[in-house]
Amino acid sequence: MKRKEFITTAASPIDAAGAESADRVHIVSLGFDDGFRKSCEKVAEIHERFGLSACFNIVASASDPDTGFSDPYASKHPIGGWELWNELADRGHEIMPHGWRHAHLGEMPLAEARGLIIRCLDRFSERLRGFEPQKSVFSFPYNQSTPELEAWLPEVVMGFRTGGGGINPLPTADTLKITTEGYGPDDCGEHLERRLDELLAGPSGWLVYTMHGLDDEGWGPIRADHLESLLSRLVKEPTVRVVPMGRAIIKNKG
Ligand SMILES: [Zn+2]
């Protein structure tokens, strides 16, 4: 099966044996949020040139034409749909939940916020083949969480991503909370390069960096040719493993 072969190839560099035998390990997880169709297709292609899997964090209602979704962030560029997300997942890429809609979950009553997250996970289960909430990482819209939501989320998902520094400790079996950062509204490429330099200069660590689109799409885009040159350098770095966020932690879960 194509999916299985791809995952095996992409996942092999992070095998525990490799991680333990190296002096240092630097995991790099680059997430592309909000599902801009053109960018997602190209991000996937670029990753595939290097045998890598990309990570896409998707707004559930934006992926269905019948939900009447509207949001300022999505007004300029088309958003992909479940057909594309299933195809990309079949090609070995990671498709993770990023909300029912792009809401400030920390600014509404807890029950309402929980309801939106459950609705998102339910739609993912219905529409994305093989999706299991308990193996997913929920990425908060705007990377905005609350202590109450963070305390509840482990009941329904494997982990969650929220705002904070981009450099995390290496994932373990106990990893639930992942922090991330990004840069915008202009090109994020130089900011990402600086974070990568910091990661590679330090001890073992895990950079979880949030982006949106390529070239002219989304907040804080990165140039397509910059992403390609960056990945071509990273795959040659002996301590680096480029792995989607969820796959980085599921390796350590029982
Ligand atoms: Zn977003």
DSSP state of 77: S
The reported pLDDT for the residue numbered 72 is 66
Cα 211 to middle of ligand 1, angstroms: 9
Q: Ligand 1 is a single-atom ion; what residues have CB below 5 A from it?
A: 33-34
Cα 80 to middle of ligand 1, angstroms: 14
Q: Residue 166 and residue 195: Cα distance in Å, rounded?
A: 8
Cα 15 to middle of ligand 1, angstroms: 30
Nearest alpha carbon to residue 95 among 54, 156, 145: 54
Cα 98 to middle of ligand 1, angstroms: 7
Q: Residue 89 and residue 136: Cα distance in Å, rounded?
A: 13
Cα 137 to middle of ligand 1, angstroms: 14
Residue with tokens 């190296």: 22
Residue at 35: amino acid letter: G
Tell me which architecture the domain covering 2-250 has in CATH. Alpha-Beta Barrel (3.20)
Cα 128 to middle of ligand 1, angstroms: 19
The reported pLDDT for the residue numbered 76 is 74
Q: Where are the domains of the chain?
A: 2-250
The reported pLDDT for the residue numbered 69 is 66
Q: How far apart are the first and last CA of the chain?
A: 25
152 CB-near residues (< 8 Å, 6+ apart): 114
Cα 142 to middle of ligand 1, angstroms: 6
Question: 79 forms bridges with which residues in the sheet?
Answer: 36
Flag residues of the chain having pLDDT under 70: 1-22, 68-75, 254
Q: What is the largest CA-CA distance in the chain?
A: 51
Cα 102 to middle of ligand 1, angstroms: 6
Cα 77 to middle of ligand 1, angstroms: 14
